Structure 1
């Protein structure tokens, strides 16, 4: 599903990337609750696999695994197989935290070279998998990852035991669900159709109801509220606009 179509239908795309045997497919199975092909061999994931994370509108895609010592003449071809990574709304890089630090560093640097450091800035989460095999390397591995890739978040997980999976899903959910909910009702006409399309392209749309009026509920960041509500209120077909902020749990 292309990015524009995904957004119009209210879906967001998260892509799993990482080296072969880092546990991407196992992590996908744990996160989605659906069975996927898991094999301890190179290129076991050749076909792109996409699953939905629970009842959310987040689509999780598993990609072909990276591997070391790729011949130079294959680098560009391999890069071309990663279009799902380049077009994803969010990338989760899966790293095997049980490996020695020098190997982790080599692999992370190779990922940076293939995908491009600037490309993933602000759109990358790193999941250090296999923490069930030990945590001796975890803190140092996190430092290596942060220095090389500058991800928005780094956390330890275990696809085997499920540890850290709920936290990872919560981080993904919060990324796509800004804290401000905006509700708007507009006269059902061509102008409303245009605005609904714009809202899908620009924000996280939670629901759309069609009747005599078009009622849309969507989420946006706090620094966007004034701009978007002013725009909506200025439209001739707008009936009303309201906003609400998620409650903060201080317990």
Structure 2
């Protein structure tokens, strides 16, 4: 990618559709892009599935960076709900806070939220790493299936509810754990991963300050009693 050439797109003079088409063209040409005056525009930089570097100078609305693969998106500001939804690969980092459902259903890559994130952060994650520099809201990591969620602040109620697989790390207070979410011992492997991830995100924190939450695996299958009830019913 030619890092010396940066194309600037003024969001005030184009529709969202025009902006996203220009980003796809830039990705094919391997040309970095800067978006100016985003003014909380929704659906910016979505559906880009080839490598592309994007700098966004300001706040963005909902679904920024959704359905992307191989992107490097940096937002100097806050983001609305659905940040990086279904991200397949690459890196999306914002300096500010994110709304609800940040990193929802993401399958790969890295998402970094500099500030707080709203409710249902990391819901149904299927891979990748989601790092939140601040606190998260209720039902974060609900039905998480795979991946890593690192929370450097506090966590709201029902953290990890119906957690299937994946790992959650929390530095601050946990209001409550959801169904089948349990606290586990931090291993040397966990500490090494946290140190690398936090260093990459530019967050000053020590691995030993975090609690680790995993699935208790009691919801994987019906209990013997429940199986018998179902057999009788059939």
Instruction: Report if TM-score (shorter chain) is over 0.5.
Output: no
- What TM-score do you get using the length of structure 2 for normalisation? 0.26
- With a CA cutoff of 8 Å and minimum separation of 6, indicate the structure with the bigger relative contact order: 1
Q: Greater CA radius of gyration, 1 or 2?
A: 1
